[in-house]
Amino acid sequence: MLTTTTDTLQGETIEEYLDIVTAEVVYGSNALRDFFAGFRDFFGGRTGSYEKLFTKGQKQAVEELTERAEKLGADAVIGIKVDTGTIKVDEEGTMLVITATGTAVKLS
């Protein structure tokens, strides 16, 4: 399965646009990770635990996206965009949301 952030595939001809596909990955908060991230926020610097979480989540979202495209009979997903956000659960908890969106296409 070919995947790209562009709206075309060089050297390929798009035969049919099948549908828009989306995939979401949601992670709950982790008290220990949040505690250490708070130190990083106060003292400055990068937060490795969250960077790893974003990397993992983005990979999982794109993998889910391609699986959904394959179910439609797609050969590729073009125009992929990955977004992140949070959902506030209560006064102390948030959830991280990573969403991937693209267009499933059939190649000739």
pLDDT digits (tens, 9 = 90+) for 12-36: 999 999 999 999 999 876 544 454 4
Multiple choice CATH, 2-107, 3.30.1600.10, 3.30.1330.30, 3.30.110.70, 3.40.50.300: 3.30.110.70
18 Ramachandran zone, left/alpha/beta (phi>0; psi -120 to 50): alpha
Question: Cα angle at 51 between 59 and 42, to 5 degrees?
Answer: 160
Question: What is the distance between the alpha carbons of residues 94 and 50, in angstroms, rounded to a whole number?
Answer: 13
Q: Per-block average pLDDT, block size 10, for the chain (108 residues)?
A: 94 96 85 48 59 88 97 98 86 83 97
Listed in order, strand segments (DSSP E) in the chain are 2-3, 14-28, 76-88, 94-107
